[in-house]
């Protein structure tokens, strides 16, 4: 991934107006995708009269209008048809790409970032992230000369008026037909983002009393003091309204965090525990649960307590997805709230994950605050070591020996992770164990060793 010019681990992202997050680049990117899809059709010997079909969805950032128009123009110039979805969660675009038999889906979003950032994510016809080979082909086309197909081969554009209803029905269909949230009072924090229309609709139609906050986007307030990265507003609202549960999404709707009736936040590790416990008890848990290098050690111990296994992937939902597929698993996610329920959706989906938790609680007759007590999280200290040569220092004998010593001390009762940033001269030192003072002391010792080794390199 480090050799890519444009694509990162999750699409293309950056500051609006700065290359490549600019209108002229998006025009080229749209044409590049259209050209790659047309070449694929030709290679597969599809009918030449059938143009590639691409869906475009976006969150509520003001720059989304500009990039939507630029991508649309580029795709049409390459001879692709376009269907515009308007503001829609990222997982909704993945679902609709499959259900509408499109060749690709595009999401214009920078997820949990502020409005001055934006980005592009792509989905394949199966509603999954594009393969490395396809991304490489798109990058080559972006740098090629811009060419427009003949006039009689240009694509056409149509807006899908019922996109919200289609996706809402999909979300409800992940539950049994007789499932009901009647009698429950829920607070939904939509982060002034892509879920502001569909999330209240889904939960209300299932019978819940819904109080929505963060549901008045103005193009600039996405993720501003609301949403899964700023749960304080939801915590206050849950307590003020005496709600049974609070649900916070991020700007593009693929992350979710919960708040119990006491106002305590439940993150992705808590959600994985609740779902794994319920699915295991019902005989529905397939394969291991997949977390990341940052999943709390307490989650691993809790899962082992009822016979489940935690596997760890690199940080990033695409890596979680890879590990799930390798091991035929269906449940995985990140502490941040990216939760993958592959028996229900092809990608991380905040609404679907929240519904799965409500289903688990309803079936067991339990409350989130009580269920969470089964997960005893370990104190976790993460220190950032920023210095030239920090990444290279990880391969030094001094750092390896220090890490091995801490691992020996914590064996069976804790964990240590040294992780280099892929974009900065930075190493993240993470230590977990039951004794917080011991954890901090070890983290600081390791950080000092890394810093010293970096200075000597």
Helix axes 350-364, 163-172, angle to 10 degrees: 30
Helix axes 23-43, 63-77, angle to 10 degrees: 40
d(CA 128, CA 124): 5
Tokens of 279: 């699915």
Of the pLDDT bands very low, low, confident and very high (cuts 50, 70, 90), residue 46 is low
Looking at the predicted structure, is the pLDDT value of residue 2 above 80? no
Give residue 114's pLDDT.
Answer: 95
Nearest to 274 by CA among 294, 299, 296, 256: 299
Give residue 145's pLDDT.
Answer: 96
Tokens of 12: 């293309």
Give residue 225's pLDDT.
Answer: 97
Chain segment 402-454, per-residue pLDDT in tens? 999 999 999 989 999 999 886 678 999 999 999 999 999 999 999 999 999 99
Looking at the predicted structure, is the pLDDT value of residue 147 above 50? yes
Q: Would residue 99 show up in a list of annotated catalytic residues for this protein? A: no
d(CA 130, CA 138): 10
Chain segment 178-214, per-residue pLDDT in tens? 999 999 999 999 999 999 999 999 999 999 999 999 9
Cis peptide before 20 (omega within 30 of 0): yes
Looking at the predicted structure, is the pLDDT value of residue 100 above 80? yes
Per DSSP, the three-state class of 342 is coil
The stretch 347-352 carries a mean pLDDT of 96
Averaged confidence pLDDT in the chain: 95
d(CA 101, CA 98): 5
What does each C-alpha distance from 442 to 301, 381, 433 come to in angstroms?
21, 9, 10
8 A C-beta contact, residue 17 and residue 66: no
Chain segment 272-293, per-residue pLDDT in tens? 999 999 999 999 999 999 999 9
Q: What is the pTM for the complete model shown?
A: 0.92
Please tell me the number of Cα atoms within 13 Å of 425 on its side-chain side.
Answer: 11
Query: Which entry of 111, 124, 295, 346 is annotated as an active-site residue?
Result: 111
Task: Supply φ then ψ for residue 138, to 5 degrees.
Answer: -65, -45
Place of tokens 């409005």: 115
Chain segment 393-407, per-residue pLDDT in tens? 999 999 999 999 999
Give residue 47's pLDDT.
Answer: 55
Of the pLDDT bands very low, low, confident and very high (cuts 50, 70, 90), residue 1 is very low
Pairing of strands 12-15, 81-87: unpaired
Give residue 423's pLDDT.
Answer: 67
Nearest to 217 by CA among 93, 336, 118, 115: 115
Percent helix, percent strand, percent coil in the chain, to nearest 5:
40, 20, 40
Q: What is the Cα gyration radius of the chain?
A: 23
What does DSSP assign to residue 378?
P
Per DSSP, the three-state class of 319 is helix
Nearest to 114 by CA among 220, 204, 187, 28: 220
Task: Supply φ then ψ for residue 325, to 5 degrees.
Answer: -65, -40
Give residue 316's pLDDT.
Answer: 87
Query: In sequence order, what DSSP letters do the residues of 32-48 get, joined into one string?
Result: HHHHHHHHHHHHTT--T
d(CA 299, CA 169): 33
């Amino acid at each position: 991934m480090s050799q890519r010019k444009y694509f990162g681990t999750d699409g293309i992202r950056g500051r609006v107006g700065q290359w490549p997050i600019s209108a002229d680049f998006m025009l080229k990117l749209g044409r590049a995708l259209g050209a790659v899809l047309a070449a694929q059709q030709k290679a597969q010997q599809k009918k030449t009269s059938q143009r590639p079909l691409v869906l475009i969805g976006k969150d509520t950032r003001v720059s989304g209008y500009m990039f939507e128009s630029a991508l649309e123009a580029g795709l049409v110039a390459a001879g692709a048809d376009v269907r515009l979805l308007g503001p829609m969660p990222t997982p909704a675009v993945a679902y609709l790409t499959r259900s509408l038999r499109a060749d690709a889906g595009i999401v214009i979003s920078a997820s949990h970032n502020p409005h001055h950032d934006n980005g592009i994510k792509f989905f394949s016809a199966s509603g999954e992230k594009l393969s490395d080979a396809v991304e490489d082909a798109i990058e080559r086309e972006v740098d090629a000369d811009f060419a427009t197909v003949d006039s009689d081969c240009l694509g056409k554009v149509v807006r899908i008026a019922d996109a919200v209803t289609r996706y809402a029905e999909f979300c409800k269909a992940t539950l049994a037909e007789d499932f009901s949230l009647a009698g429950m009072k829920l607070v939904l924090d939509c982060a002034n983002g892509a879920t502001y229309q569909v999330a209240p609709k889904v939960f209300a139609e299932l019978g819940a009393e819904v109080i929505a906050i963060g549901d008045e986007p103005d193009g600039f307030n996405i993720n501003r003091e609301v949403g899964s990265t700023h749960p304080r507003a939801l915590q206050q609202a849950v307590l003020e309204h005496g709600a049974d549960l609070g649900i916070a999404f991020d700007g593009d709707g693929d992350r979710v965090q919960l708040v119990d009736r006491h106002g305590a936040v439940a993150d992705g590790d808590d959600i994985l525990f609740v779902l794994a416990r319920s699915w295991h008890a019902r005989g529905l848990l397939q394969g291991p649960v997949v977390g990341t290098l940052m999943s709390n050690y307490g989650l691993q111990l809790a899962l082992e307590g009822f016979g489940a296994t935690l596997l760890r992937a690199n940080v990033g939902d695409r890596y979680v997805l890879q590990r799930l597929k390798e091991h035929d698993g269906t449940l995985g996610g990140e502490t941040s709230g990216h939760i993958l329920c592959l028996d229900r959706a092809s990608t991380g989906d905040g609404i679907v994950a929240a519904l799965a938790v409500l289903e688990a609680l309803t079936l067991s007759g339990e409350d989130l605050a009580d269920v969470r007590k089964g997960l005893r999280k370990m104190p976790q200290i993460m220190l950032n070591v920023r210095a030239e040569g920090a990444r290279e220092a990880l391969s030094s004998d001094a750092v390896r020996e220090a890490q091995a010593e801490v691992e020996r001390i914590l064996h069976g009762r804790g964990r240590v992770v040294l992780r280099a940033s892929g974009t900065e001269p930075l190493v993240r030192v993470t230590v977990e164990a039951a004794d917080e003072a011991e954890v901090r002391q070890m983290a600081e010792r390791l950080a000092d060793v890394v810093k010293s080794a970096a200075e000597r390199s």
